Amino acid sequence: SLLRLKELEVPKLGDSNVHVKMLAAPINPADINMIQGTYPLLSPLPAVGGNEGVGEVLEVGRRVTALKPGDWVIPADAGLGTWRTQGVFPEEMLLKVPSDIPVLCAATLSVNPCTAFRVLADFESLAPGDSVIQNAANSGVGQAVIQIARASGIKTINVVRDRPDLPKLVERLMALGADHVITEEMLRKPEMKDIFKSTPRPRLALNCVGGKSTTEMLRHLQPKGTMVTYGGMAKQPVMVPVSAFIFRDVRLRGFWMTQWRKDHAQDQGSVAGMMDALCQLIRRGQLTAPACTEVPLQDYRAALEASMKPFVSSKQILLL
């Protein structure tokens, strides 16, 4: 196997370093892709896995001013290697987060909710009453989109794959604030018209699947609407009929959180603004952690296996 649990020495604390005790770190699809070598970010090997998580500061170097022992921190960027019990990191690789939010919210904050926040904010200027359609609505990003949209008065049409426990999933997404939950098959059915009696056609479509269902989703977009692709779970291309471009002038865009962070590395205001907005939603109970299964680090193999099973709507979180 590519993955092993190893005991390593904690390196000496440099002047600009921060010694962190990791608390919890999730297993995300991108983490698996990085291990498989199919992701555009590859760490020089041997490397520690995990791009997301939360830790507590134990000690800081003498030049470190923004952090102190007891503070909670999350990665400022991908590639930190969060699947470990402790680490020593340069200060600029960490972002402080409030320690009064639930630990699972903090552990799952830097990737999925940030992605959801950006795709809702950066492509179409949505107003209360507008709607968004998204596939893989039960994913980490999907669950965050539902809640952030609900908090802003934006309606969501949520597409999921048909599955044995569909009613249970529908109920869970409705409880998060989903307006409509439908299966991929329903996208092609005339009953879709009923949804648009109460909900306007979406100006924004969010795609992390690809393949046929994405083409079907696109058909329901308003003229001049935008589809943003941020993942490709089906590993199939996005097929767009020529008529969608000519007669409806739809826009196809892409989004990658890692790139957004690179582009905004000098713009700490926009990063802080996003983090504050998300932490406010969490404190008000309007944004919760995705459904999680907590797994002790030594059981990491079982957690990795579970994270790759189809139809598992629970995110595996390593407790460190």
- What stretch of H or E contains 229? strand 226-229
Per the CB < 8 A criterion, the answer to whether 250 and 221 are in contact is yes
The tens digit of pLDDT for each residue in 288-313 reads 999 899 999 999 899 999 988 877 77
What's the average model confidence in pLDDT over 234-248? 93
The tens digit of pLDDT for each residue in 141-157 reads 999 999 999 999 999 99
Q: How far is CA 36 from CA 32, 234, 295, 303, 306, in A?
A: 6, 16, 22, 16, 16
Instruction: Decide if domain 17-108+289-319 falls under CATH 3.30.1370.60.
Output: no
pTM above 0.85, yes or no: yes
pLDDT of 119 reads 98
Q: Where are the beta strands (DSSP E) in 61-174?
A: 72-75, 86-90, 94-97, 131-134, 155-160
Pick one of 2.170.130.10, 3.10.180.10, 3.40.50.720, 2.130.10.10 as the CATH number of 112-257.
Answer: 3.40.50.720
pLDDT of 311 reads 75
- Work out the percent of the chain whose per-residue pLDDT is above 70: 99
What's the average model confidence in pLDDT over 42-52? 86
Tokens read off for 49: 């896995």
Q: How far is CA 279 from CA 14, 47, 100, 218, 268, in A?
A: 30, 30, 10, 32, 16
Kindly report the average pLDDT of the chain as a whole number: 93
What's the average model confidence in pLDDT over 69-82? 94
The tens digit of pLDDT for each residue in 91-125 reads 999 999 999 999 999 999 999 999 999 999 999 99
pLDDT of 1 reads 56
Per the CB < 8 A criterion, the answer to whether 172 and 313 are in contact is yes
pLDDT band at 199 (very low <50, low <70, confident <90, very high): very high
Per domain, the residue ranges of the chain are 17-108+289-319, 112-257
The tens digit of pLDDT for each residue in 252-268 reads 999 999 999 999 989 98
Helix (H, G, I), strand (E, B) or coil at 17: strand
What's the average model confidence in pLDDT over 157-170? 94
Angle between helical axes of 166-176 and 140-151 (0-180°, round to 10): 40
pLDDT of 293 reads 93
Q: How far is CA 117 from CA 133, 176, 240, in A?
A: 15, 16, 26
What's the average model confidence in pLDDT over 5-29? 92
* Catalytic (active-site) positions: 39
Which residue's entry shows tokens 């409806």?
Answer: 248
What's the average model confidence in pLDDT over 74-86? 93
pLDDT band at 208 (very low <50, low <70, confident <90, very high): very high
Instruction: Give bridge partners of residue 97 from the DSSP assignment.
Output: 72
